[in-house]
């Protein structure tokens, strides 16, 4: 990417003069390191919801290895409330690349773009780590300001089932090759560990902080607001892809079993279509409610008040994993190895084609919701 080249019609002036120019992305297989005692580290993970959640364990690893580090995060504005809930993140820098590229020449876009660049370049970083691996994240990584000895790090190769675009390694000082068959969480953890020079810890933590507010009307009390007083299980049926959905009749049977076991159910939605589906299913369920559409931070708090979550492969299901709630994640495709919960006693993936059976999902729920010994 040449300095001053346009991206989606926006003026892309290069990094400030004290920033180190990219070297073209030397590929490494081993460990590099950040020498500063209190390094400033910038994480670039812009979207989507599930990907943002999957990046959180890498942040927790950095905190453990470099407790004095300042960790900042660039993310799409719609996901910024969640990034702000990630323990250890000092500054969240929102961007709106998705919206800006729809009207790149408008006065508003140009003004917002200049403001974003000013905020991005406010700090000089010892390490800028592109966890996204796409052209848009490469652009942000390239524009970030480096300390005199700072470096940009990125993936050197595509991993299975994930998007990857060459500019991510073109702008990197150090491009790190990762084993292609790797879980999304492990990929980010390994990239950060090898960039910053520490071993990947054995234990995994997301560091997603849920707030508890018992005041009447607080969003996080929604899971306990039904007059029945019974525990509530959230059902996540919405997904961005129709081929990931679970049949409506399966959800109805699952709700019947949950009701018999003493649970209320809550139906979540993020679009008008999903809301209509939630309302239709709720009418056919006993002790079911349809939650209002909540901001991600409020939704995180509300989910934390649930007895558990059962859902398809979606960002909300990944939040349930990050909160360590009893959770069953449903897969119509054999991709749970890449994005689903692995070796976690309170979460379990269930995969089958064309779709997991209600019996299989129910048995998984009984396992994850059983008291832990």
Domains and CATH numbers, the chain: 26-196 (3.40.50.2000), 219-369 (3.40.50.2000)
31: pLDDT confidence band, cut at 50, 70 and 90? very low
- CA–CA distance, 244 with 312 (Å, rounded to integer): 7
- Binned at pLDDT 50, 70 and 90, residue 67 comes out as very high
Per-residue pLDDT, averaged over 314-340, amounts to 97
pLDDT confidence of 83, banded at 50, 70, 90? very high
Give the mean model confidence (pLDDT) for residues 87-99: 97
Pick the residue with more confidence: 119 or 16?
119
Distance of CA 103 to the CA centre of its chain: 26
Tokens of 156: 């050197």
Q: How far apart are CA 108 and CA 352, in angstroms?
A: 48
Percent of the chain with pLDDT over 90: 83
Q: Quickly state the pLDDT bin for 33 (edges 50, 70, 90).
A: low
| pLDDT greater than 60 at residue 316 | yes
Terminal C-alpha separation, the chain: 55
Q: d(Cα 103, Cα 119) in Å, to the nearest integer?
A: 21
What pLDDT does residue 229 have? 87
- Rounded mean pLDDT of 231-237? 97
- For the chain, give the secondary structure using H, E and C: CCCCCCECCECCCCCCCCCCCCCCCEEECCCCCCCCCCCEEEEECCCCHHHHHHHHHHHHHHHHHCCCCEEEEEEEHHHHHHHCCECCEEEEEEECHHHHCCCCCCHHHHHHHHHHHHHHCCCCEEEEEECCCCHHHHHHHHHCCEEEEEEEEEECCCCCCCCCCCHHHHCCCEEECCCCCCCHHHHHHHHHHHHHCCCCCCCCCCCECCCCCCCCCCHHHHHHCCCCCCCEEEEECCCCCHHHCCCHHHHHHHHHHHHHCCCEEEECCCCHHHHHHHHHHHHCCCCEEECCCCCHHHHHHHHHCCCEEEEECCHHHHHHHHCCCCEEEEECCCCHHHHCCCCCCCEEEEECCCCCCHHHHHHHHHHHHCCCC
Q: Does 372 have pLDDT greater than 50?
A: yes
Band of the pLDDT at 217, cuts 50, 70, 90? low
pLDDT at 29: 43
- State the pLDDT confidence band at 30, using cuts at 50, 70 and 90: very low
Is 219 a residue whose pLDDT tops 70? no
**Residue 223 has what pLDDT?**
61
Tens digit of each residue's pLDDT (9 = 90 or more) over 123-173: 999 999 999 999 999 999 999 999 999 999 999 999 999 999 999 999 999
pTM metric for this prediction: 0.89
pLDDT tier for residue 214 given thresholds of 50, 70 and 90? low
For residue range 113-127, list pLDDT tens digits in order. 999 999 999 999 999
Among 366, 239, 219, which residue's Cα sits nearest to residue 307? 366
Average pLDDT over residues 20-43: 62
Report pLDDT for 9.
36
For residue 22, is pLDDT > 50? no
Pairwise pLDDT comparison (223 vs 148), residue with the higher score: 148
pLDDT number for residue 52? 98
Residue 301: predicted pLDDT = 96
| The predicted structure's pLDDT at residue 332 | 96
State the pLDDT confidence band at 261, using cuts at 50, 70 and 90. Answer: very high
- Whole-number mean pLDDT of the chain? 90
């Amino acid at each position: 990417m040449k300095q001053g080249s346009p991206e989606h019609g926006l003026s892309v002036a290069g990094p400030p003069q004290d920033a180190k120019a990219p070297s073209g992305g030397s590929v490494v297989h081993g460990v590099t390191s950040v020498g500063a005692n209190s390094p400033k580290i910038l994480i670039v993970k812009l979207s989507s919801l599930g990907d943002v959640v999957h990046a959180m364990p890498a942040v927790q690893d950095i905190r453990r290895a470099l407790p004095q580090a300042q960790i900042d995060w660039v993310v799409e504005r719609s996901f910024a409330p969640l990034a702000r809930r990630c323990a250890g993140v000092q500054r969240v820098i929102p961007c709106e690349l998705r919206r800006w590229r729809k009207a790149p020449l408008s006065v508003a876009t140009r003004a917002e773009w200049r403001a974003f660049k000013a905020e991005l370049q406010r700090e000089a970083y010892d390490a800028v780590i592109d966890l996204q691996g796409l052209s848009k994240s490469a652009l942000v990584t390239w524009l970030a300001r480096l300390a005199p000895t700072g470096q940009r790090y990125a993936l050197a190769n595509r991993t299975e089932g994930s998007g990857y675009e060459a500019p991510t390694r073109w702008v990197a000082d150090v491009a790190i090759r990762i084993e292609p068959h790797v879980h999304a969480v492990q990929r980010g953890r390994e990239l950060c560990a090898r960039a910053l020079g520490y071993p990947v810890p054995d234990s995994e933590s997301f560091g997603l902080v849920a707030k508890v507010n018992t005041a009447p009307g607080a969003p996080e009390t929604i899971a306990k607001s039904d007059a029945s007083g019974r525990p509530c299980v959230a059902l996540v049926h919405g997904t961005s892809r129709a081929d990931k959905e679970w049949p409506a009749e399966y959800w109805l049977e699952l709700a019947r079993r949950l009701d018999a076991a003493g649970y209320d159910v809550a139906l979540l939605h993020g679009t008008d279509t999903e809301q209509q589906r939630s309302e239709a299913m709720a009418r056919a369920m006993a002790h079911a409610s349809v939650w209002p559409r909540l901001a991600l931070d409020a939704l995180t708090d509300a989910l934390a008040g649930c007895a558990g979550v059962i859902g398809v492969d979606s960002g909300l299901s990944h939040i349930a994993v990050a909160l360590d709630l009893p959770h069953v994640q449903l897969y119509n495709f054999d991709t749970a190895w890449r994005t689903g919960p692995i070796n976690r006693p309170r979460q379990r993936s269930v995969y089958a084609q064309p779709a997991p059976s209600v019996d299989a999902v129910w048995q998984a729920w009984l396992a994850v919701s059983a008291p832990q010994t």
